[in-house]
Structure 1
């Protein structure tokens, strides 16, 4: 399955990805279940530390039981990429665009979502065959940045990441993002309820 096919499927119905950084394996799994219970189909666990790989492994195991997709984030080096895939990550995410990581991802056969913050980043990624891109840091770039970049790059599929929550996710989706990555809301019942109220997550009765 290509990266475009995977991400299109993951965000076809619920346009929210959970992202859980720096939590223990137990807490990571708890947050993953909160996201899955809310209807989210994909979560990302950043792997910047040795402990983070343990959290990724726990999330992968929990996701396997529920038929959910788990990816690894903050993948910047080849050894991280290989280890994340060996741990069971179905996709990888990076804060920036590294064509070496893009090539290695293609060789391994794992979808990669690189971070972009400039027109040059976007153009380079698209020419490398990637259409799904991580707009990062989204809250700094702003929703108008997304709208402006989609004018010359209409084929780009942005996932807004960084500073996303119940207060601004709708703005980024309205500007043209295909999905938003949210973390803290899944540990906060008030934010979670607001995401439901905003129509970003399904109502309780419709969750699977």
Structure 2
């Protein structure tokens, strides 16, 4: 069983790290299963747009290669790149070996959070219920991924602001330029987008998010 005091100690680093990673940018890019070259192209598109945080989910050997390539490209521009879909300690090790600056998980596992922090990578675990938000909050976590955001809906985030005013949500899952502003208006701090980065019309609408 994870010692909550240990997790809370790690979470102090998480807060400052994600405050910096997401500072001034209401969007995060997720490059899932896009291969090396397309991941690099869309990462550069994201950075040019003003998106600071880029996540490459790890679900295949090619994804690991793509992560390493995007990490290297990001380093040249002073950008931090994270590894997503981290489910266990083995995934944490893979992310660290590829040079990831942070990890993202679809669910809440405090052992994964602790392992990631121990490896020098702040962890952004996923939540979908008040109980999970409470468990993460008690452990000291203040930045959480809400997944799947489109299924949860904007009212979920509005409701969570009452009991958890200090928690910052990164909304992930089914989001695009068309609905990003609605989620931000509901109290979401960061909206994660993916395929929209490859669509010129969507890109123009995403750029408007920065002018809100």
Asked if the contact 1:19/1:45 (under 8 Å) is kept, the reply is yes
> What's the CA shift string for 1:17-45, capped at 9, x where partnerless?
10000011111000000000101111000
Tell me the CA shift for residue 2 of structure 1: 1.7
Q: Which residue of 2 aligns with 1:83?
A: 94
* CA–CA distance in structure 1, aligned partners of residues 31 and 140 of structure 2: 28
* CA–CA distance in structure 2, aligned partners of residues 45 and 201 of structure 1: 22
Task: Select which of 190, 196, 199 maps to 2:201.
Answer: 190
Q: Which residue of 2 aligns with 1:139?
A: 150
What TM-score do you get using the length of structure 1 for normalisation? 0.93
Tell me the CA shift for residue 176 of structure 1: 0.7
* CA–CA distance in structure 2, aligned partners of residues 86 and 202 of structure 1: 37
Q: Please, which runs of 5 or more residues in structure 1 have no aligned partner?
A: 204-208
The 5 Å alignment of 1:79-158 reads 79-158=90-169
| Runs of 4 or more consecutive aligned structure 1 residues displaced over 4 Å after TM superposition | none
Task: Select which of 192, 199, 204 maps to 1:181.
Answer: 192
Tell me the CA shift for residue 167 of structure 1: 0.9
Task: Select which of 32, 36, 55 maps to 1:25.
Answer: 36
Task: Select which of 60, 72, 88 maps to 1:49.
Answer: 60
Tell me the CA shift for residue 202 of structure 1: 5.9
**2:45 matches 1:34:** yes
The 5 Å alignment of 1:154-173 reads 154-173=165-184
